[in-house]
Structure 1
């Protein structure tokens, strides 16, 4: 994250106050050490000071920000062809047919389309020496949909790519509010098409969807899940799975942790920026004016569209395998938990789709990791053991769902060409684990293929819980992990009553009488 020197000057008193509070044991969470306490104070302060900047200035600052990569990392620039974006537009136009008024603007005529989609390949230079599998991560950066860049997140991307023995492709999608929904979804879908249908001069062969993991943090995590829904609903080949860090899936801010975890997270009550051409709201004390557009990313009328708020989809089944990580102290915790339960249909009586005319899909396989005391996207704080542990667990997930190739027939069939996958769109959902791993013996073979001893523990851990005692696939795994990265307990499930209560909260703005802080400037 880029830091304005003036922000540091302003934050210095906050740092001193934090140190004083810490040694007085006035800590939002007793598990925080001083270093983490100071880091969260810094990020919170920078975001709160965003109201003094225009969106345009903030976007420009963050677009250029990045931490230099070490010599062991290869960075190659790329451009996603406009033909990929045109194809993505056609897909989205079909899915959004009849909802043009809800979307709220002429998105096909967006002038920002004159700017090409810029991307970059990130990988360890020795990747091919340590793996024979061609794993590809399509990484989508976070930033509340209106800030951030691929370069800014490169310091995280390179670590995940290394942990997963993969190469990563990240890109700069169009940002809101200049280009609201569905611009970011279209650009993400275009990047996916670029990977599976590259032009002749791209410098790489078409990549099988089964060799791709879509990944993102925060808003990028939400986009990753949106794309999974888009591909499912359009009948197109899905990737092997998705890895999401603190995904933002509920743009209504419906659930309790948005307020109950305010003191243990750095996310502000709302993103407020100085009035500018991109953000014409001049009087933020005018509640009515603020409520007409709560989020920069989408008009209020569009927030209920599942490709904006994925958790609101009638059915979250039929998706590729999903790995979700969140912090127990973050404000988006509850939506990550509820999404995981809803997608895996832990309680069919609550989550099974029974709407007339709406197709019901089989449960999605979901692994949820909740880290004790951690805030939103805590992986940013690389110095902390929980952050490095989360990166390793994510890498283990990527290695697991895209295993090392074998010489048997089951392996060759699992790495079929894109054209054959595309022609069999009825198989979308890809329960590839059932096809690629048909027995405990196969799982043990996969374990032996792992080349990294440091990741072996996590890999074993995940494999052991892929099946229950009856040899059936577990669709939901929930791990609670302490601040040192140790698994405290596994497979806790929320009770049906709480899940039903939370599900009934979705799609509604918070009660301003109960939570006036929602509109704080």
Structure 2
């Protein structure tokens, strides 16, 4: 049964019932034993929510990835109190973002690392889906007739333009890159920060693997800062933007900051990173140790086999004992592009498979790699190689071409990564196929795939990083925060530096510490904000809003005072010193949240932001005199302080849009308990996850691979019959794709290769066709050049001048095997092909053919096609419209969260009333209890 609201309810209901009885059983045992210890699961609402979310994710692993994507990317109507405006980021902005990425990668990386510059620009939609979100009450007092400059007598504003125009007075913009979050979270961010939120529905893997998601996120940022002429909003200054994301979305935020920093582009005012996923090699211990306390499935994100994923339907067969010597050495992925060092290794060791009893142990492989690494010529180390590996190697010399590349360049292919074994005497395992959905094995250590493996995380805008101490990713998150604040203290291992000139340059260029506020929440799992009814999450929402308003509204002194928590309200104003030692007066906003927001600590709190804790006592993080300032802190990195680790320096000119930092705190390190109370984090020297040597970070290790392999083996056995059917279906779909191209050619399809020739795809193949295209014949170039504005054969389709490439333009590209841009064996790939052939063709097409009558009739009965309109695209890109069931599962979760929030608010109100009745004075502000 696919992932639907009904199947989710059937799967989750027994879990909810079981959790209810188990919860009170455990609570009774604690009372019997007199156990006074507190845990997050003591709250029945959190206990239920945690197990419900974990059960839903488990349901997703028992179904195909397409089914899960369709469920999580279903359009859910917004509640009446929210203003949600869907928009499309147009193709020209996507092209500008592509140019940014092309500039960052360079030609060599594009060819060998990415697999080309075309395939990731191919998309099914004519742009990127996105939404503007804010609270409707923020718009009610605004007259569009007065504020809109785009309305003319000739053209009335559309509904979308009118709503976006109403949001223009909200200066603060949060660009939210969601992982698997829900709309209610984004509405809450917009409400609490008194601003507007721009959510981007980027393309998802495995159909659109890296760098497709990053491409879309860059496009969203450019759309805000450099809107096209027809955009309904004005350009948003970068200093008014905060980028935010959770899980994989937060990792994309770090990658976005990297591209902006490296290219000298203006960075946003700040970034909020919620449980960022930044190490796809899973090289930190918490990936294994926290498996029982997190919502992440125990075996990782494995799925029922489908036409889309996994690439090899029996994935457990792809992890085998290694059959060759290095390269690569155990724990590492192979180099993704040729290099003289890599070619020397190829010359030094036999590349043909060896009998298993002759394959060296891991220790011997390591020794062999060290010998080759330190040697210049192969014939000088033959004796040493033989002694280390027990293998005779014939002396050979490298031969170089006139371009300086070695003879291995043209047919270069990375070898399967080897797994770092716990026992050095073991023969390493070898990964024969892609196991991560997001990227290929060789790409996992790329700094834009695993941002933790950046040479430097310095020179970024201020970061607010949140993690749960029960989540699998907590170690890498904590390490990320410290590496950003202290670039020199957490260097990248030399192996990752040596293969990239950009990485080597960045290590020297970006040495200024990034201001980081790190908070780790007790007992919380991955993406704690999902559980918005808990005290921890409520505190997190308030703190995020505080950070957003601080970095966007107080740019005059942000460079000296990057953290809002360092301030206290004294009377109606406070004096602080800016970088020129002049006194700046910070005035309280008199009109409350209905006016242009002032500094966040002066705002009146909403009704659900009580300063009373669950016991009716005043929250120690707030007071009537000081406002919501966090009093108990462990401040690491004062300039000149003993615990600074590095000396603080001024920011390099042009490397960041943030103001120059002259003095103050580099980093705040805190833990937050289950009641939302803050305490200092233990010193770095007492944290094992910060003492891991750089040489051990970013390596593929045995324990995570063994755990994944165990789960995948069970799935392979469970879905063995399904796997055979998937292979048969793929073969039929390939035949169907060939028929589509053949029919389109018969109707006049002409594709220009960009090299002066036009090619028609069809049965009549001629000599001179491009390599690998036996069904292609040359055709004369149409007179007057390429036709790029209209079809000559039909009026139902167009050639979009801005759309650069389509699925038929990728003969010279080598995308990841899961990318549907070049695939022909999935329904989604066929939908993409039909869209680009019959409806919105790229500029490389000279014609848009008309479909045959029989094809139109068949399309009427094909759920993945449409007889007239473009077929629905992959759910990894396009939102799915809700089915006949009026209540979608995501809406149900939103309702449950809202119910729990209201219930807890009522309990809090009763506790406060009881405390006041007992003589405990409450805290009031303007007649409203805070």
Shorter-chain TM-score range:
0.7 to 0.9
Aligned to 2:672: 481
Instruction: Specify which of 487, 490, 494 is matched with residue 350 of structure 1.
Output: 490
Per-residue deviation, residues 487-512 of structure 1 (Å, max 9, x unmatched): 12257434587524154332112314
Shift of 1:389: 1.2
- CA distance in 1 between counterparts of 2:585 and 2:184 reads 32
Q: Which residue in the other structure is 2:469 paired with?
A: 328
Structure 1 residue 118: Cα displacement: 1.2
Conserved 8 A contact 2:454-2:492: no
**1:251–1:29 distance in 2 versus 1, CA, 3 Å:** farther
Partner of 1:94: 103
Q: Summarize the alignment of residues 84-233 of structure 1 with structure 2, pairs less than 5 Å apart.
A: 84-97=93-106, 98-100=108-110, 103=113, 105-106=115-116, 108-110=118-120, 112-115=122-125, 116-127=127-138, 134-143=171-180, 153-233=182-262
**Deviation at 1:483?**
0.8
Other structure's SS at 2:702 match: coil
Map of 1:111-510 to 2, 5 A cutoff?
112-115=122-125, 116-127=127-138, 134-143=171-180, 153-268=182-297, 269-279=299-309, 280-288=311-319, 292-345=433-486, 348-351=488-491, 357-358=505-506, 359-403=509-553, 410=556, 433=562, 437-438=578-579, 442=584, 449-450=599-600, 451-454=602-605, 457=622, 460-461=629-630, 468=638, 472-490=663-681, 492-495=683-686, 498-501=689-692, 503-510=694-701
Per the alignment, residue 50 of structure 1 pairs with 60
Which piece of structure 1 moves more, 7-16 or 30-39? 7-16
| Contact persistence 1:75–1:121 (CA under 8 A) | yes
SS in 1 for 2:259: helix
Q: Number of residues paired by the alignment?
A: 488
Please give the TM-score of this superposition, normalised by the length of structure 1. 0.84
1:189-236 Cα deviation digits (max 9, x unpaired): 001000011122212211111111010011111111110001011111
Distance across 2 between alignment mates of 1:232 and 1:441:
31
* Equivalent position of 1:74 in the other structure: 83
- Which residue is 1:37 aligned to? 47
Larger radius of gyration: 2
C-alpha distance in 2 between matches for 1:275 and 1:485: 42
CA RMSD of the aligned region, Å?
3.5
- Paired with 2:492 and 2:514, the residues of 1 have a C-alpha distance of 12
TM-aligned CA deviation for residue 396 of structure 1:
0.4
SS of corresponding position for 2:59 = helix
Cα offsets for 1:265-304 (capped at 9, x unmatched): 1101311112222213312433528762121111111111
The range that moved more, 327-336 or 280-289, is 280-289
1:188, distance to aligned residue in structure 2 (A): 0.3
Distance 1:237 1:432, change over 3 A: farther
1:380 & 1:57 partners in 2: Cα distance? Answer: 21
Q: Which has the higher helix share?
A: 1
Whether the 8 Å contact between 1:132 and 1:404 is mirrored in structure 2 is no
86-95 vs 109-118, greater mean Cα deviation: 109-118
3-state secondary structure, aligned to 2:472? coil
Q: Are 2:245 and 2:253, in contact at CA under 8 Å, matched by a contact in 1?
A: yes
Deviation at 1:343, TM superposition (A): 0.4
Could you tell me which runs of 5 or more consecutive residues in structure 2 were left unpaired when the two chains were aligned.
Answer: 31-36, 143-167, 321-430, 498-503, 564-575, 590-597, 610-620, 641-661, 713-930
Paired with 2:205 and 2:85, the residues of 1 have a C-alpha distance of 26
How big is the shift at 1:173?
0.8
**Cα 1:64/1:29, change in 2 over 3 Å:** farther
Tell me, in whole angstroms, the C-alpha distance in 2 between the residues paired with 1:396 and 1:463. Answer: 17
- CA shift for structure 1 position 371: 0.7
Structure 1 runs not aligned, ≥5 long? 144-151, 415-429
The offset of 1:317, in angstroms, is 0.2
Secondary structure, aligned partner of 1:231: helix
Query: For 1:297-353, what per-residue CA distance to the aligned partner results, in whole angstroms no more than 9, with x for missing partners?
Result: 11111111111111000100011110011111111111110000000007x343499
Q: 2-side partners of 1:502 and 1:37: how far apart?
A: 36
CA–CA separation in structure 2 for the residues paired with 1:69 and 1:287: 44
Q: For the structure 1 residues 500 and 70, does the alpha-carbon distance in structure 2 shift closer, same or farther, using more than 3 Å as the test? A: same
Provide the rounded CA distance (Å) in 2 between the counterparts of 1:83 and 1:135: 25
Answer yes or no: is the 8 Å Cα contact 1:80–1:190 preserved in 2: yes
1 CA distance for matches of 2:218 and 2:577? Answer: 26
Distance 2:693 2:560 in 1: 28
CA shift for structure 1 position 394: 0.3
Is 1:518 equivalent to 2:659 in the alignment?
no
Deviation at 1:104, TM superposition (A): 5.0
Residues 157 and 441 of structure 1: CA distance in aligned 2, closer, same or farther (over 3 Å):
farther
Contact 1:478–1:493 (CA under 8 A) maintained in structure 2: no
TM-score (norm 2): 0.48
CA distance in 1, matches of 2:562, 2:477: 23
Matches within 5 A, 1:21-36: 21-25=22-26, 30-32=39-41, 33-36=43-46
Tell me if structure 2 keeps the 8 A contact 1:477–1:491. no
Cα distance change, pair 165–281 in 1 and its aligned pair in 2 (3 A) = same
> Counterpart of 2:87 in 1: which secondary structure?
strand
Q: Which residue of structure 2 aligns with residue 147 of structure 1?
A: none
Which range is displaced more, 472-481 or 2-11? 2-11
Q: Would the aligned equivalents of 1:315 and 1:353 in 2 still touch at CA under 8 Å? A: no
Quote the Cα distance in structure 1 between the aligned partners of 2:61 and 2:306.
Answer: 11
Q: Deviations over 1:11-36 (max 9, x none)?
A: 33333333343234299993312221
